[in-house]
Amino acid sequence: MPSEHLLNKTARSDYMSLDIGSVCQAMYIWIDGSGQTLRVKTKTLDQEPESIEDLPEWNFDGSSTGQAEGSNSDCYLKPVAMFRDPFRGDPNKLIMCEVLNYKHEAVATNHRHSCVRVMEEAKSERPWFGIEQEYTLLDVDKHPFGWPKLGYPGPQGPYYCGVGTGRIYGRDIVEAHYRACIFAGVKIAGTNAEVMPAQWEYQVGPCEGIEMGDHLWVSRFLLHRVCEDFGVIATFDPKPMPGDWNGAGCHTNYSTEEMRKAGGLSAINKAVEKLSKRHFWHIKQYDPTGGKDNARRLTGLHETASIYDFSSGVANRGASIRIPRHVGEQKCGYMEDRRPSSNCDPYVVTEALVRTTILNETGDVENFSV
């Protein structure tokens, strides 16, 4: 067992109970140059901030995160969203940040910057999102948590929403993460065991506009941080195990105010038609590799549509866009885009949906291949 897992947690709790007076520890969180990995650093503030406006900009070495050259390495952290810190407790905070370069311009992986502009342009339509984040727990040797070290568990079937030893792996981690999200103020809506053993899902939302990306990224940070305490790894790889095992997605539920009103199914159908004409453009937006990661998952098997085909249907989990059965019956509600991969950037996904369905942008990718 790696030495870091032998650290005395009881001794740590003694220090964490010490009175720190009126100061506040603010942990700044940002997305690094990979577009997938989070980085953090902590700043001491003289008092608890009441709003984002009370938080100072900060800086970091962008050459160490793939976001700047060593000869001009300073990048800026611009606070954009604030949450309670479930690890240090009140009054300490978690601060989601945008990354800016030395000119105070958005770096390449700062997709929030453009997402804010798009959401502002579309705010009269009140776009709502709910994202189903799937992930897989791994042991420190990168083998799925709880799986036999020299073999495989039984085939898929009993694990989805399961209960009991031999069916469920890592529930303690899931429960700790759930509580951490609630404490922090993340809009976590629920959780369940997924189809592959050691695979889980939690849902965040409904969130309006830019809030969706902020809350999902912080929920991912909380998951990684909880996993530190348990000595396991959470991966958002969309196909962590090759073979006859389900992949991991980030199904995105989406609606506008018109879709949610009586008779909104007509607006949903119109949006689906627009999406059908930009399928490959959306596929390029739906994972950080422009479709290569997702191609391992979107095969037409294991509750997915083929990456090369667009489809939609009521209650069809093998379609690109699923219309939930109750939405079809009530003639209003929302749609579910099942294409985004588990490692997608929610700022990019939500912006793409709004650009196509509200701002009516057109144009697809020709000769798409992965």
Report the C-alpha gap between 224 and 81 in whole angstroms. Answer: 19
Q: What is the pLDDT of residue 12?
A: 86
Report the C-alpha gap between 29 and 80 in whole angstroms. Answer: 10
Structure tokens of 197?
């053993």
Domains and CATH numbers, the chain: 3-109 (3.10.20.70), 119-357 (3.30.590.10)
Q: What is the pLDDT of residue 9?
A: 78
Q: What is the pLDDT of residue 259?
A: 98
Report the C-alpha gap between 7 and 189 in whole angstroms. Answer: 33
Per-residue pLDDT of the chain in tens (370 residues, 90 and over written 9)? 555 556 777 888 889 999 999 999 999 999 999 999 999 999 999 999 999 999 999 999 999 999 998 888 899 999 999 999 999 999 999 999 999 999 999 999 999 999 999 999 999 999 999 999 999 999 999 999 999 998 899 999 999 999 999 999 999 999 999 999 999 999 999 999 999 999 999 999 999 999 999 999 999 999 999 999 999 999 999 999 999 999 999 999 999 999 999 999 999 999 999 999 999 999 999 999 999 999 999 999 998 999 999 999 998 888 999 999 999 999 999 999 999 999 999 999 999 999 999 999 999 999 888 8
**Do the strands 312-314 and 321-323 form a parallel or antiparallel pair, or are they unpaired?**
parallel
DSSP, res 57: P
Q: Which residues contact 247 (CB under 8 A, 6 or more apart)?
A: 238, 239, 240, 296, 297, 298, 302, 304, 342
Q: Taken in order 163, 168, 174, 176, is the CA torsion positive or negative?
A: positive
34: helix, strand or coil: coil
Whole-prediction pTM: 0.96
Q: Which residues contact 311 (CB under 8 A, 6 or more apart)?
A: 305, 318, 319, 320, 321
The pairs formed by 2-11 with CB atoms below 8 angstroms and a separation of 24 or more are 2/140, 2/231, 4/231, 5/140, 5/231, 9/229
At 134, which helix (H) or strand (E)?
strand 128-138
Is 340 in contact with 283 (CB distance < 8 Å)? no
Q: What is the pLDDT of residue 52?
A: 97
Q: What is the pLDDT of residue 3?
A: 57
Of 365, 347, 362, 282, residue with least CA distance to 118: 347
CB atoms within 10 A of CB 199: 27
Question: Identity (one letter) of the amino acid at 346?
Answer: P
Q: What is the pLDDT of residue 317?
A: 84
Left if phi > 0, otherwise alpha if psi is -120 to 50, otherwise beta: which for 166? Answer: left
| DSSP state string for 76-116 | EEEEEEEEE-TTT-TT-EEEEEEEE-TTS-B-TT-THHHHH
Structure tokens of 286?
């739906």
